[in-house]
Amino acid sequence: MTREAPGLLLVISGPSGVGKSVIAHAIEAKLGGAFSVSMTTRPQNPKKETDGVDYHFVDDAQFDAAIERGELLEWANVFGHRYGTPRGPVEQMIAAGRVVILEIDIEGGKQVRAARRDAMTLFILPREPEVLLNRLRERRRDDEATIRKRFAEAQREMAEGEACGVYDHFIVNDDLERAIDEVTDLIESRRARMASHP
Ligand code: 5GP
């Protein structure tokens, strides 16, 4: 006997520039997914970001209070600012049968893994590391020393992602459509298994 497709908590991690946002948005559109809106102490970019949509932008005291009240499913320091996932909306959306997408770093991934064994965790990798290096150069935002530092950080993250034992699947984003299809198939087969063994 099968039931309706059940809710699923989906963690997507990977180094910056690997294309995880594009994959996450495709999953949202294809599978009726829902993004969790994180809380962050990082400043808002008012030209590009809307409070409550892209992030909940808060100050340190508000972030501390959310931790204190146990309102965060996970949180971590990323590039000098704190980011966390509000627990309540995530649990409501899972209960409503949605695929809830968390685009979070490895530290957050570890905490979600520990808190929810039923989460599905994906790590996105580039075809080869140099793809990330080229992308950093194409942005023309940083000098060569900063680019090298960011690239070294991306390589460290990839090594940790593979070694930490948190991720169920490693997706190589060699071709975007193929990677999206692979993720879609993985989610659909996981949900089908959950539905037949509730
Ligand atoms: P950005 O400042 O560029 O929007 O995000 C920086 C990084 O923070 C992203 O690579 C993302 O993985 C991570 N991040 C965003 N939201 C969260 C969150 O709620 N928890 C954790 N642990 N990391 C997050």
Task: List the residue whose alpha carbon is closest to atom 19 of ligand 1.
Answer: 84
For 105-129, what is each residue's pLDDT tens digit? Answer: 999 999 999 999 999 999 999 999 9
For 39-81, what is each residue's pLDDT tens digit? Answer: 999 999 999 999 999 999 999 999 999 999 999 999 999 989 9
pLDDT for position 3? 55
Give yes or no for a contact between 85 and 73, defined as CB atoms under 8 angstroms apart.
yes
Is 51 domain-assigned? yes
Q: Is 123 left (phi over 0), alpha (psi -120 to 50) or beta?
A: beta
Task: List the residue whose alpha carbon is closest to atom 20 of ligand 1.
Answer: 84
Domain with 90 in it: 8-196
Is 3 domain-assigned? no
Is 182 domain-assigned? yes
| Ligand 1, CB cutoff 6 Å, lining residues | 16, 38, 42, 74, 76, 78, 83-85, 103-105, 107-108
Is 1 domain-assigned? no
Distance from the alpha carbon of residue 196 to the mean position of ligand 1, in angstroms: 34
- Counting the structural domains of the chain, the total is 1
Q: Which residues contact 15 (CB under 8 A, 6 or more apart)?
A: 126, 132, 153, 154, 155, 157, 158
Q: The domain spanning residue 86 has which CATH number?
A: 3.40.50.300
For 126-145, what is each residue's pLDDT tens digit? Answer: 999 999 999 999 988 889 99
